Amino acid sequence: MPHFVETFPNGGYMDMYQVMKSLQEIQFNGVVIPDHVPSMANDPRVGTAYTIGYMQALLQRAQAEGG
| 22 within some domain | yes
Higher-scoring residue by pLDDT: 57, 5: 57
**pLDDT score of 1:** 58
| 51 within some domain | yes
Give the closest residue to 7 by CA, choosing from 43, 31, 34. 34
For residue range 5-38, list pLDDT tens digits in order.
788 988 888 899 999 999 999 999 999 998 888 9
**pLDDT score of 67:** 65
**pLDDT score of 35:** 84
| 2 within some domain | no
Domain tally for the chain? 1
**pLDDT score of 30:** 95
Q: Whole domain around residue 53: which residue ranges?
A: 9-66
**pLDDT score of 52:** 94
For the beta carbon of residue 9, count every other beta carbon within 10 angstroms: 20
